[in-house]
Structure 1
Amino acid sequence: MKLQGKHIYLRAIEPGDLDFLYELENNPELWEISGTAAPYSRHVLKQYLDNAHRDIFEVKQLRLCICDLNHKLLGLIDIFDFDPKNSRAGVGLVVSDPASRNHGYGREALELVIDYAFYTLNMRQLYAHIGEQNAQSIHLFTKLGFEKAGLLEDWTRYGKDFRNVLLFQKLNR
């Protein structure tokens, strides 16, 4: 299966992506959605990249780079909590550059990952945790067939407050 759409393609993360990953993982504006609580060092991220080639069945996750057709790195899409026994996994994505948002790149990346998960990995379902206030992500996931399956009250801390998270599922029917 080729992970390429009309405007983007997905590729494995590579050692040359260290600077991009460093900026992304250390952006406090994204920490709420990634669950990060502290900055990552270049050393730790380099170790991660050194092991990123490992098989999804071994490490239970897969991180792919979202690139435009001119090879510009736009963001990341992850399959995580990969559970082959129960045939499910989580999915999350970020288009890092605000100027690249709202151009359909996230939608196309999510479509490619759904196809990959359902038809290559033979997954029964994908799920996503989305902050209740994240209207753009809720719109994207519901547009692609994810259904709201639950509410996790006060699930994430944001400063001194707690925020609700919505659970979305897409079944491979």
Structure 2
Amino acid sequence: MILQEKNIRLRALEPTDLDFLYALENDTSLWQVSDTITPFSKYVLTRYLENSHRDIFDVKQVRLMIEHIDTKQPLGCIDLFDFNPQHNRVGVGLVVFEAAHRSKGFATESLKLICTYAKEHLQVHQIFANISEQNKESISLFEKAGFLKTGVKKDWNYHQGIYTDQFLYQYIVIDK
């Protein structure tokens, strides 16, 4: 299975992704979404890249690059995390890094691909996402992809003196 749609492909991380990941992980405007509170060094990210080949059944997570098919330019990342093969579920999160690349369907294609991968290759029964009530773009993306809001974590996140709710979205795989 090639993880490819009309405009993007999902691929494994490469050592050449270091500068992109360094910029992404250290962009403080994204820290609220990723629960990050400290910068990442290039050393730490290099070590991460060296170990990114490890199996999802071993480390319970995988990160793939979202790459534009024509330009080969990295657009963002999509992660599967908290993989639980006992209960057949996995979490998903994604980011299209530059604002100029958003609202062009890249996230939609990426989410479709990763959900197909999770269903067909990991045999998951459900895929979940945790989304801040303030992240309207992600809420819209996941709802259009068939995810349902199934829970609310009240006052879950604290940022700049304000508590906000976090929504739990789930996609339940229906066997045909």
The aligned runs of 1:30-45 (5 Å cut-off) are 30-45=30-45
What residue is the counterpart of 1:107 in the other structure? 108
What residue is the counterpart of 2:81 in the other structure? 80
Rounded to whole Å, the distance in 1 between the matches of 2:52 and 2:127 is: 21
What are the Cα deviations for residues 82-102 of structure 1, in whole angstroms up to 9, with x where unaligned?
Answer: 111110010000000100000
In structure 1, stretches of 5+ residues that fail to align are: none
Rounded to whole Å, the distance in 2 between the matches of 1:42 and 1:61 is: 21
SS in 1 for 2:141: helix
What residue is the counterpart of 1:50 in the other structure? 50
**Which segments of structure 1 move beyond 4 Å, counting only runs of 4 or more?**
none
Alignment-mate amino acid for residue 136 of structure 2: A
Rounded to whole Å, the distance in 2 between the matches of 1:106 and 1:88 is: 21
TM-score, structure 1 as length reference = 0.98
What residue is the counterpart of 2:22 in the other structure? 22
In structure 2, stretches of 5+ residues that fail to align are: none
CA deviation after TM superposition for structure 1 residue 108, in Å = 0.1
What residue is the counterpart of 2:13 in the other structure? 13
Alignment-mate amino acid for residue 86 of structure 1: H
SS in 1 for 2:116: helix
Alignment-mate amino acid for residue 35 of structure 1: D
TM-score, structure 2 as length reference = 0.97
Alignment-mate amino acid for residue 168 of structure 2: L
CA deviation after TM superposition for structure 1 residue 133, in Å = 1.1
CA deviation after TM superposition for structure 1 residue 156, in Å = 1.2
CA deviation after TM superposition for structure 1 residue 164, in Å = 0.8
What are the Cα deviations for residues 87-134 of structure 1, in whole angstroms up to 9, with x where unaligned?
Answer: 001000000010000000000000000000001111100000001011
SS in 1 for 2:11: strand
Rounded to whole Å, the distance in 1 between the matches of 2:13 and 2:155 is: 33
What residue is the counterpart of 1:168 in the other structure? 169
Aligned length: 173
Identity %: 49
Q: CA RMSD in A?
A: 0.6
Rounded to whole Å, the distance in 1 between the matches of 2:140 and 2:6 is: 21
